[in-house]
Amino acid sequence: MRQEASMPIAIRIFAGWLGFWEHVALPRRDRWAPGTRVPTMAIGPMAKRGFVDRTPYDHGSILRTIHSAIQRCAG
Q: Which amino acid is at 2?
A: R
Helix then strand then coil, in percent of the chain rounded to 5, is 30, 15, 55
- Distance, CA of 17 to CA of 20 (rounded, Å): 8
Sorted by where each begins, the domain ranges of the chain are 3-74
Q: What angle do CA 60, 51, 8 make, to 5 degrees?
A: 60
pLDDT for residue 14: 77
- Flag residues of the chain having pLDDT under 70: 1-6, 16-29, 32-36, 75
pLDDT for residue 33: 63
pLDDT for residue 60: 81
pLDDT for residue 25: 66
